[in-house]
Structure formats: structure tokens, C-alpha cells
Structure 1
Amino acid sequence: MISRVAVVPHPPLLVPELVAGAVPETASVRAASLAAARDLADRDRDWTAVAVDPSGPRTLTDSAGSFRGFGVDVPVSLSARPSSVDPSLPLPALVAGWLREHAGARSVRVHLVPPDLPLADCISFGSQLTGNALLVLGDGSHRHGERAVGRPDDRAGPFDEDVRAALAAADVAALKALDAGLADELGASGRAAWQVLAGVPGPWRCTRSEFLAPFGVGYHVAVWEA
């Protein structure tokens, strides 16, 4: 039964080698994400993870890969002794492996779900997840302000505030209420992963919560305890 959850983003900027120069905003996102991952490793060194990727649904485990496709050959693995190398590991799995290594976990089994997974399927999937420690990877809107990756959109602030408030309150009903269509318009790729979390049996309380939006992208970090 899952008893601790860490919610983190999965941008390449978490990896220092992929960031040119010392950018304080980058360091803040990295520090918050690593703190949450270490909280998770303190509970269990073997993780279950869920993230969104167009290649889902599929499950990745015991593989090694690299951030070479993002500019620098930084090797990572999903377990301490990977049995295979997958040069096409998607970004969420690469970040899960990087966090595993830097948080001191032994393994992470990554479940990828498609971006358009309906709410009912998200809830059903979450209810079936096993393990003791769950890593939830997902980014918020990329349309915050003039530095936005996508076109700036005034709806990005209220949307990510709703996500932030839901995570800070461990409010699964509020996560279920997130609008999938709006999330897609705002580039909030974490929507399906957060709604999978809403299906994991609770009740929950939040012990860590932070929201950062460097470079116009919203990044949510939270830790939940059963």
C-alpha cells in the first residue's frame, strides 16, 4: 500500500550538466525536487513512478539511458544494476532515474500514461498502483508571463494556483476537478499524472509543498503522507 508520495516536475534543467552557467532559478527547482525525492527514499528505496508521455501506456524498469538527446551525455538508470540499455528512454523516465540515483533509492518502476488519459481511467489506474513509495512526475503550464515557452496566457496563473492549492491541501477532489482540455491548452503536461494520484487510496496529508515558475513554466513539488 502506498504510504508516501513525492510530486516533482521533470524538466531537463534539473540536471546541472544540462544547464549553462549557474542559474539561481534552476537551482531552486533542483533543490526542491531532490528534497522531495529524498523524503521518498527515506520511506522506501524501491519506488513506483507515474508520468505522462505520448508513448504510454507502458511500463519501464531495470533500464539505463542517457540525457545525450538533451545536449550532454549524462548516464542514468532505473535500478542500481540495470539489465539493459534503452537509448530512447523518454524524459520523465530519465528524470526518474536521475532522482533515484541522487536520492539514494535502489530502483524505480516507471508507468507512463498517455497525455489524453480520461479522468475515470486515471482514477482507476491510480487505485491499482502498488508499492510503498510513489513518485509522480509532471509539469505545470508553460504559458506564465513574458518568459513563457509557449504563448503567454492569463489562464496559466489561476490554473497552476488550483494545482498548487490542491497539492498543498492533499485535496484529491480538487485534483479530479482539473479540466483536461484547459490543461492541454496551457501545456500543463502533468494533468493526467496528478489525476492518477487522485485515484491512489488515502486519506492523505501534505508535509511539503512548493511552486516555482522560472522561465515561464510552472513546476510543482509536494510530499504526501498517508
Structure 2
Amino acid sequence: MLVAAAVCPCPPLIVPEVAAGAAAELDALRAACGEAVGELLGSGAELIVVVGTGPKAEVWTEGGAGSFRRYGVDLAVRLPAAGVNGPELAPSLTVGAWLLAEAGATVPAHACAVRADTAPQRLHGLGRGLAELADRVGLLVLGGGSACRSVKAPGYWDERSEAYDAAAAAALGAADTAALAALDPQLSAELQADGRAPWQVLAGAAEGAGLTGRLRYDDAPYGVGYLVASWR
């Protein structure tokens, strides 16, 4: 049963060593993520499942490791309490492993990567299955809103982006599973919102769990919508 979730974006720049001289620009985002992950770990969950997008659907149950060497930083991380490094994590999940390590996590963790174009129904079913992996499951859900919030954004500016992110923020803050499940895959892809698929996994996992939500962060540095939320 799902007892808690932390929702965080996963830009590599959230890691101070990667951001280097620009690290201070995301201090508020890091702090919000740290609080959300801390609350997740304090929920009494006996298993944490890290969920993010990846180039292919994949599951890590016997350890997993990743590094930030692709960004020129000699920093490696792995899922906690696994005992082995395991296969390489998708980039989004590597950020998740870093967030858990920063919070001092010792709870066993699995990881699950989903393709960004996965249909909502499949994501919903996957979420239901993840919630049944243990009596008390917690999810660390990785992904952000639109990358089209300004002319300097990775996807340039799209007039639909602010409304999209506002709707996602409202849904995450209210733990509104129906609203998350209703996010349109095509629009999400056009706005380069990599959170859509992981959020819909969360919606499936939380269905009927009676969780409440709290929005901790809602901003668009670099023209990308970053949202942080806690569900308990």
C-alpha cells in the first residue's frame, strides 16, 4: 500500500557539483526536495520505489548505480541498502539516488524507469502494481513540468506552458489522482514535460490510498517548470 510520496524534478543541475558556479541559483529547489524526501523517509515506508523516465522501460530490484561523469563530474551514487551496485540507472533515477543519499536513506529501494510516451492506462496499472510490493510503500517520483516557459527555455516559449504547469501544480498540491491521470500525453510531449509519465504512475499507486498533498515548490528557473510536492 502506498503511504507516502515525494515528487521532485530531476535536472542534473540540482547536484551542486554539476551546477558548479551556478549552484546557488537552485538552492531553494534543493531545499524543497530535501524536505520532501525527508518527509518520505519519515513516513515509515519499508520500501522506496524511485520512478522516472528512461529510454526504455526498466526495473531495478537488486541494486542500481549511476554517475554524473557525463556532465564532467566524478560523482557516483547507488540505490541505498542494496549491498551491490547493480546495473546502470537511467539519468533521472541517478538524480533520485543522489537525493536519497543526500537525505541519508537506509530504507531498501527499487527503481523503475518508464518511457515518456507510455499510455496513461499502462502507467496507472504500473502504479497499482508498485503500491502492492510491500505493506508500506513510498514513491520518489522524478520529473518536471513544461520546458517551454520562456524564450530561453530548452523548448522555447509556448503560450500553453503556464496553464499546463498551473494545472499540474494544483493536482500535485491536492493529491488529485484524477487530475494527474487526465494529463494529455500529446500536449505533455509538445511542452516537453517529462513529469507526465511518472506523475501518472503516482496517480495509479495512490488511487484509493486517501493521501493528502502539499506543494513545496513551484517555479520556472531557466524557463522549466519545477514542482516539488509531498503526499502523505
TM superposition score category, shorter chain reference? over 0.9
- Tell me if 1:214 matches 2:215: no
- Tell me if 1:77 matches 2:78: yes
Give me the whole-angstrom Cα distance separating, in 1, the residues matched to 2:92 and 2:198: 11
- Where do residues 2-41 of structure 1 align in structure 2 (5 Å cutoff)? 2-41=2-41
Give me the whole-angstrom Cα distance separating, in 1, the residues matched to 2:61 and 2:17: 24
Alignment correspondent of 1:102:
102
Counterpart secondary structure, 2:74: coil
Give me the whole-angstrom Cα distance separating, in 1, the residues matched to 2:160 and 2:126: 29
Note closer, same or farther for the CA distance 1:81–1:58 as it changes in structure 2 (3 Å cut).
Answer: closer
CA positional deviation for 1:82: 3.8
Give me the whole-angstrom Cα distance separating, in 2, the residues matched to 1:34 and 1:189: 20
Counterpart secondary structure, 2:230: strand
CA positional deviation for 1:81: 5.2
CA positional deviation for 1:67: 0.7
Counterpart secondary structure, 1:19: helix
CA positional deviation for 1:146: 2.4
Between stretches 172-181 and 74-83, larger displacement belongs to 74-83
- Tell me if 1:67 matches 2:72: no
Alignment RMSD: 1.7
Matched-pair contact (CA < 8 Å) for 1:96–1:108:
no
Note closer, same or farther for the CA distance 1:92–1:143 as it changes in structure 2 (3 Å cut).
Answer: same
Give me the whole-angstrom Cα distance separating, in 1, the residues matched to 2:70 and 2:23: 21
1:194-221 CA deviation, whole Å, 9 max, x = no partner?
Answer: 1111111322211343212100111111
Alignment correspondent of 1:155:
160
Matched-pair contact (CA < 8 Å) for 1:143–1:150:
yes
One-letter identity of the residue aligned with 2:168: V
Matched-pair contact (CA < 8 Å) for 1:41–1:104:
no
Between stretches 54-63 and 197-206, larger displacement belongs to 54-63
Matched-pair contact (CA < 8 Å) for 2:93–2:142:
no
One-letter identity of the residue aligned with 1:116: D
Give me the whole-angstrom Cα distance separating, in 2, the residues matched to 1:215 and 1:63: 30
Matched-pair contact (CA < 8 Å) for 1:63–1:82:
no
Note closer, same or farther for the CA distance 1:126–1:81 as it changes in structure 2 (3 Å cut).
Answer: closer
Alignment correspondent of 1:111:
112
Alignment correspondent of 1:194:
199
CA positional deviation for 1:60: 5.4
User: TM-score, normalized by length of structure 1?
Assistant: 0.92
Between stretches 58-67 and 35-44, larger displacement belongs to 58-67
Matched-pair contact (CA < 8 Å) for 2:146–2:188:
yes
Note closer, same or farther for the CA distance 1:81–1:169 as it changes in structure 2 (3 Å cut).
Answer: closer
Note closer, same or farther for the CA distance 1:54–1:186 as it changes in structure 2 (3 Å cut).
Answer: same
Note closer, same or farther for the CA distance 1:81–1:192 as it changes in structure 2 (3 Å cut).
Answer: closer
Give me the whole-angstrom Cα distance separating, in 2, the residues matched to 1:125 and 1:176: 13
One-letter identity of the residue aligned with 1:146: V
Q: Which runs of 5+ in 1 are unaligned?
A: none
Q: Which runs of 5+ in 2 are unaligned?
A: none
Question: Matched residue pairs, number?
Answer: 224
1:147-191 CA deviation, whole Å, 9 max, x = no partner?
Answer: 311121111111111100111111111111111000000100111
Between stretches 52-61 and 10-19, larger displacement belongs to 52-61
- Tell me if 1:184 matches 2:189: yes
